[in-house]
Amino acid sequence: MDKVLVMLQLQQQLNDATNGEDWEYGVTKNGKSINWKRCIYMECAEMVDSFAWKHWKNITAEPDFENLQIEVVDVWHFVMSLALETFRKNSMGDIVTLAQQIADMDNYALLYDKAEGFESEKLILIQVESVMRDSLDINLSLTKLLFDFFELVRMSNLDINTLYRLYVGKNILNQFRQDNGYKDGSYIKIWNGEEDNLVMKRIWEESGELKPEALYKALQERYKALQ
């Protein structure tokens, strides 16, 4: 349960810092409404664009599996946020209770097995659309959403260790974005022709067991070089 609990705690901290306390009741500290379900299906739409799905354009393009994994992690931020919101609003228990319920799910436990490769493009897209349908259901089932999401994680060649690593990296990047003008629009997202997501991912991969504080510093150094 340790990894899912840490990820939930990091997401809670990020949401508290970004949106203010009591964001679980649907409004940020700036008075903006929050819709985590919309966040999920819009990120899923971006995930679809990892594939050359248009039958009239770039029909020979290869799937962008690296971007697929980044988008899966982005959706995980919003799935966790929705779960945290649901538990708080409905008095279902604390964050440890939520983590335990997730850890007890059978297909979450399967993520502790080493990832064995990407599923076919066709099956991944079907699964992405299953997650989208879950988020669009007016009678949303959190259990079904989590189940379908963990299936998508497995199909995207991610296991608990790689999901955790990428999530922590993206969490630090999100903190970095907030600290550098993301809300007011002054933040630069493309670094020398490459999205900051991919820069973050490569820093993690090149640096081995980099600690979150060191990742933040590495991002800071590269960002300063842009300016």
Query: So what's the pLDDT on residue 227?
Result: 73
**What is the distance between the alpha carbons of residues 128 and 113, in angstroms, rounded to a whole number?**
21
**What is the distance between the alpha carbons of residues 173 and 38, in angstroms, rounded to a whole number?**
22
Residue type, 78: F
Query: So what's the pLDDT on residue 165?
Result: 87
The DSSP output letter for 195 is E
Query: So what's the pLDDT on residue 93?
Result: 94
Q: How confident is the model at residue 59 (pLDDT cuts 50, 70, 90)?
A: confident
Paired with 100 in beta bridges are none
The predicted model gives 69-73 an average pLDDT of: 94
Query: Which residue is it, tokens 């609990």?
Result: 5
**What is the distance between the alpha carbons of residues 132 and 71, in angstroms, rounded to a whole number?**
13
Query: So what's the pLDDT on residue 204?
Result: 80
Query: So what's the pLDDT on residue 2?
Result: 82
**Per-residue pLDDT tens for 6-21?**
999 999 999 999 899 9
Which residues lie closer than 8 Å to 116 by C-beta, 6 or more apart?
157
Q: How confident is the model at residue 44 (pLDDT cuts 50, 70, 90)?
A: very high
Query: So what's the pLDDT on residue 213?
Result: 82
By C-alpha distance, which of 172, 165, 133, 178 is closest to 152? 133
Topology (CATH level 3) of domain 2-166: all-alpha NTP pyrophosphatase fold (1.10.4010)
Domain extents in the chain: 2-166
**Per-residue pLDDT tens for 95-150?**
999 999 999 999 999 999 999 999 999 999 999 999 999 999 999 999 999 999 99
Torsion of CA 196, 200, 201, 206, to 10 degrees: 130
The predicted model gives 65-71 an average pLDDT of: 92
DSSP string, 92-104: ---HHHHHHHHHT
Which residues lie closer than 8 Å to 174 by C-beta, 6 or more apart?
14, 18, 77
Query: So what's the pLDDT on residue 197?
Result: 86
**What is the distance between the alpha carbons of residues 120 and 117, in angstroms, rounded to a whole number?**
10
Query: So what's the pLDDT on residue 1?
Result: 65
Helices and strands, number each (H, E), in the chain: 10, 2
**Per-residue pLDDT tens for 154-213?**
999 999 999 998 898 888 898 899 899 998 899 999 999 998 988 988 888 787 666 778
